[in-house]
Structure 1
Amino acid sequence: VYESHPFDFMLAHNIFIDTVSASLYACSPRSLGATDQLRVYSLANPEQPALRATYNRNDKVHDVFVRNDTAYCSSSFYGFEIIDFSSGDNNWQNISELRSYPYQGYNHSSWINEKGIGVMADETHGLPLKVIDTRNLANIRVLSVFGPRMGDTTSVPHNPFIKGDYVYVAYYLDGLQIYNLSDPENPVRAGFYDTYPDPDYKGFAGAWGCYPFLPSGRVLVSDMQRGLYVFDVTEATRVDTLPVANAFSMNPVPATAYLDLSFPSTDTGAVAVTVSDMAGRRMLHQKLEVFPYIIQPIRLTLPGYWVPGSYIIQVQTAGNLYKRKFTKR
């Protein structure tokens, strides 16, 4: 047990231990009279941690993932940074950063797999998760975006953790969300459990931590209101039960105020969306911007004056026409 002196270390938002180099990374640590963005401590002698380096270059480092002395920093509103601490003694090197990216908000946390593919979470209501490619440090790219309720301002992610081909996300009001990342340009939801069944709102409640690394394979989830959950995710992570990735989908059904559409399209520019009633009268026609992702997420607002009943929606891309019936309450 080590008890620090208040002039050395009082608290931190989060820590990450790099077991390869026996180093502890403390995010936004505070001591009496001093606050840093990131500190690195050597745990070579666990009873007497020694400060190796401090980092105070840009915005607050809210969270960090570390592998082999390389820190992948979620740096709040500054964005995403990769810092090399291998030299020690404050001889760190900023080797890459991502300052601007689609659906950018408060860069909260990330996790990177062994191949250099990661998931980045912006803790900003209504913004989706991002799959990022860090293999070319000169060109970090966002490969795709995904989430359980795209564009819904009551939906906000907290912490992602990658194990194998799956990312496990503590997703506040949306509970535990599990996505298959075997195709990083096309994440597919494999399972979920809503730990917060109460009405959604634009706030912070529900699942804010998860842990998928137990030897048993079970997943732990901590919920702010309801405590600890233990999940058996065997069925969700079976490859033969993986949902079809290229299917057109819409949620919620029945719909009330909006309709979330998800469909495959590598087109850029715009797609045409048309809604007609069952008599064939055109109720809505819009051209909506799409992004260069495999799966397009679009939220369609349904006017309040539309009468409850059945409608036909058509989505025209450069290569496909999707046509479905839906019910409005």
Structure 2
Amino acid sequence: MKKILPILAFLIATYSFAQTPCENGMAGQYPCNGLDLLSRISLNTFGTDRGNDSWGWTDPLDGKEYALMGLGNGTAFVDITDPVNPIYLGKLPTHTDSSTWRDIKVYNDHAFIVSEAGGHGMQVFDLTRLRNVTNAPETFTEDAHYDGFGHCHNIVINEETGYAFAVGTSTFGGGPHFVNIQDPVNPVAAGGFSGDNYCHDAQVVIYNGPDSDYTGREIFFGSNEDRISIVDVTNKNNPIPISNGFYGSVDYTHQGWLTEDQRYFMIGDELDESNFGFNTRTIIFDLSDLDNPVVHFEYEADVAAIDHNGYVKGNEFYLSSYRAGLRVFDISDIENQNMVETKFFDTYPTSNSARFDGAWSVYPYFASGSIVISDIDRGLFVVRDHLLGVNDNSISNFAVAPNPATEIVTVTSKTEPIAQVEIFNVLGQKIMDLNFTESLSENINVSNLQSGMYVMKINSTTTKRLLID
């Protein structure tokens, strides 16, 4: 118990940004649609004045979820297993100087961190150390360091092969610098590729897409300033360029991600909005033939913000869009050149203009459904798609009042008798299960519930959000 008390004291003193449902287009001060705010941690809490990249790690031992956020002066590690009550566990300081740019990826329970700071190289941090933090927030030390390059813009990892690809270094003309990380704390230089311009960001996969000529090969998809670059990197000693993809009104080819069937590559150009006047533009390449990538179509959103990092999960595309925050698109009909914005959470509520503030990146891959947004100005956000995946049934036979409640909440019905009331917390755990003798009004004692947001299910059919003060 004594080990837990310092963490609890820190939480009470630090976290004031509690869960807020998205109602009538707002979650507190933040414009939204379909995404609830579960929590936010400010940059001040992290001891920095600037945020950047983010990634995530799920502990295979117990399923706990952790957000990893890049800062100007290091990397923050946050336990978001309970996303309403995140625990800032500590920071790994930068290896050299502070920098606007820091990038993080995960392989084999280790974080690999690079930065544009001079001489930074690649830090390696054993994430299993987060299991044993008893005096948060701690100041961590790196478990290993790779100095085969100094500054580095970004890092990409193919978890299937255990290779990291550092891009935007001073080596290989800024092209990918290969590192064998199969033994994470003993990274080994493995060559590189300098044959196709400076690379800003990339994705590397074992290819299983529609072009059977490359099935089973390790393919590198680079966003290389004015083009996409496709390279066969199966043999690290002999990487083979395959093709380039070009598009109109190019200004700075920034970052891209494959659809799950590996047929399409969705990229963003970081400067086309500010320099050409586009609304947020996504260019979708058809990669049915890797030797001949062609533009399938271009999509312009309703806002003018600059797009930054985008990731695909299933039939959804999660795009961090700077001043417009996180934007989520349905891409299930991408074959017919259709994509539709379905949800958003705007972390920069004062403007959607084409400037470099707001949401830097997003991590949508947690099994719980929690989504991490790292914001340059406002820190770490945790949001979720309609709490527990359940929508309020606002038009129903049942009413819940008062809401928010403190001690007693009353459920009433005009016609349908109340037979059962279940209450779930934000983790989806059932914490109350009450059965009644089919009356039209029931009082429920909620005084033992902690402040926060819950879901109430009535008669297994109607769901209501319940707020406890």
Correspondences of 1:152-231 after superposition (within 5 Å): 152=304, 155-184=305-334, 185-231=337-383
Q: Percent identity among equivalent residues?
A: 26
1:92 aligns with 2:204: no
Measure how far apart 1:236 and its partner are: 12
Instruction: Say which SS state the counterpart of residue 3 (structure 1) adopts.
Output: strand
AA at the equivalent of 2:225: S
**Residue in 2 aligned with 1:51?**
189
Correspondences of 1:97-112 after superposition (within 5 Å): 97-99=244-246, 101-112=247-258
AA at the equivalent of 2:145: E
Measure how far apart 1:38 and its partner are: 1.5
**Residue in 1 aligned with 2:430?**
none
Structure 1 stretch displaced more, 157-166 or 42-51: 42-51
Choose which of 245, 270, 283 in structure 2 pairs with 1:130.
Answer: 283
Q: Where do 4+ consecutive residues of structure 1 move more than 6 Å?
A: 235-238
Query: In 2, distance between residues paired with 1:146 and 1:237?
Result: 28
Measure how far apart 1:193 and its partner are: 1.4
Indicate the structure whose relative CO is greater, using CA pairs within 8 Å and at least 6 residues apart: 2
After superposition, give the CA deviation of every residue in 1:271-306 in whole Å (9 maximum; x if it has no partner).
xxxxxxxxxxxxxxxxxxxxxxxxxxxxxxxxxxxx
Instruction: Say which SS state the counterpart of residue 357 (structure 2) adopts.
Output: coil
Query: In 2, distance between residues paired with 1:104 and 1:206?
Result: 23
Query: In 2, distance between residues paired with 1:181 and 1:237?
Result: 19
Q: Residue 42 of structure 1 contacts residue 51 of structure 1 at CA under 8 Å; is this kept in 2?
A: yes
Query: In 1, distance between residues paired with 2:286 and 2:183?
Result: 35
Query: In 2, distance between residues paired with 1:27 and 1:73?
Result: 9
Residues 237, 190 of structure 1: CA spacing in aligned structure 2 closer, same or farther, 3 A cutoff?
A: farther
Correspondences of 1:1-329 after superposition (within 5 Å): 1-5=143-147, 8-30=148-170, 36-68=174-206, 69-77=218-226, 79-89=227-237, 91-99=238-246, 101-116=247-262, 117-124=264-271, 125=273, 126-127=277-278, 128-149=281-302, 152=304, 155-184=305-334, 185-234=337-386
Aligned-CA RMSD value: 2.2
Measure how far apart 1:3 and its partner are: 1.6
**Residue in 1 aligned with 2:442?**
none
Structure 1 residues without counterparts, runs of 5 or longer = 239-329
Q: Larger radius of gyration, structure 1 or 2?
A: 2
Instruction: Say which SS state the counterpart of residue 184 (structure 2) adopts.
Output: coil
AA at the equivalent of 1:209: S
Query: In 2, distance between residues paired with 1:58 and 1:73?
Result: 9
Query: In 1, distance between residues paired with 2:388 and 2:284?
Result: 20
Residues 226, 115 of structure 1: CA spacing in aligned structure 2 closer, same or farther, 3 A cutoff?
A: same
AA at the equivalent of 1:86: T
Q: Residue 65 of structure 1 contacts residue 73 of structure 1 at CA under 8 Å; is this kept in 2?
A: yes
Instruction: Say which SS state the counterpart of residue 329 (structure 2) adopts.
Output: strand
| TM-score, with structure 1 as normaliser | 0.65
Q: How many residues align?
A: 228
Measure how far apart 1:192 and its partner are: 0.8
| TM-score, with structure 2 as normaliser | 0.46
Structure 2 residues without counterparts, runs of 5 or longer = 1-142, 207-217, 391-469
Residues 103, 190 of structure 1: CA spacing in aligned structure 2 closer, same or farther, 3 A cutoff?
A: farther
Q: Residue 42 of structure 1 contacts residue 52 of structure 1 at CA under 8 Å; is this kept in 2?
A: yes
Query: In 2, distance between residues paired with 1:64 and 1:136?
Result: 19
AA at the equivalent of 2:144: Y
AA at the equivalent of 2:248: P
Measure how far apart 1:186 and its partner are: 0.2
After superposition, give the CA deviation of every residue in 1:232-274 in whole Å (9 maximum; x if it has no partner).
1248999xxxxxxxxxxxxxxxxxxxxxxxxxxxxxxxxxxxx
Query: In 2, distance between residues paired with 1:114 and 1:208?
Result: 23
**Residue in 2 aligned with 1:309?**
none
Q: Residue 191 of structure 1 contacts residue 236 of structure 1 at CA under 8 Å; is this kept in 2?
A: no
Structure 1 stretch displaced more, 123-132 or 66-75: 123-132
Query: In 1, distance between residues paired with 2:245 and 2:284?
Result: 13
After superposition, give the CA deviation of every residue in 1:19-61 in whole Å (9 maximum; x if it has no partner).
1111001111247xx8632201111332221222212223210
Structure number with higher helix proportion: 2
Query: In 2, distance between residues paired with 1:21 and 1:226?
Result: 36
Q: Residue 232 of structure 2 contacts residue 239 of structure 2 at CA under 8 Å; is this kept in 1?
A: yes
AA at the equivalent of 1:76: E
Query: In 2, distance between residues paired with 1:144 and 1:123?
Result: 18
